[in-house]
Amino acid sequence: MQLRALFPRLGQAVRHGQGPVAPDRGRGRARRSGGSLIVKAPALALLGLAAALPAAPAWAGDVVITVTDLRSAKGVVRACMTTRADIFPKCIKDPAAHRTVVPAGKTVEIRFKDVKPGDYAIALLHDENDNGKADRALGMAPKEGYGFSRDAPVRMAPPKFTDAVFKLGEGLSRITIKMRYFL
């Protein structure tokens, strides 16, 4: 039984690969145009649904970091947030790490958007001369400010991931990190 007999508004029967032929428009050959609206309608509906979806998963949230106790407004504050313990605190080799650089000030607010829930650690550097690295005195002691999530202690080396890690849930999370200076 053909559906066309039941639904005459569907139009003429069209065999696979055939459709209305458009004029050649000066190219010397005719070309096929369009196709059935019935075939296009579901595709257009799916496209419309995809456009209505949010850009990030519904369970992602924002992290707002308030950095306090900067000793000057010179330079920038470099921030890195990662889930990988093996590369913390540098974060350079983590393509999934959240990084940003903001101008220094008395207090600084940093926002990471659309962050998935998980276990994260944050490392901050007050790069006063904006040279992209942590300057050291005598090759050991940091000359510029630093800060870590959970106020992780710095002894003879940067803190371990386990000392700085915090659990990030859904929605907005606010964290305050105090900048510290060795020299």
pLDDT tens-digit series, residues 42-51: 555 555 555 5
pLDDT in tens, 55-68: 544 578 999 999 99
Q: What is the mean pLDDT of residues 15-24?
A: 56
163 C-beta neighbours (distance < 10 Å), count: 17
Residue-by-residue DSSP string for 132-166: SS--EETTTEESSEEEEGGG---SSSPPPHHHH-E
Report yes or no: 7 and 38 within 8 Å, Cβ to Cβ: no
CA dist 62 → 6, 24, 39, 94 (Å): 55, 55, 41, 19
Whether residue 100 is predicted with pLDDT greater than 90 in this model: the reply is yes
Whether residue 110 is predicted with pLDDT greater than 60 in this model: the reply is yes
Mean pLDDT for the chain?
A: 82
pLDDT value of position 36: 56
Question: What pTM was estimated for this model as a whole?
Answer: 0.67
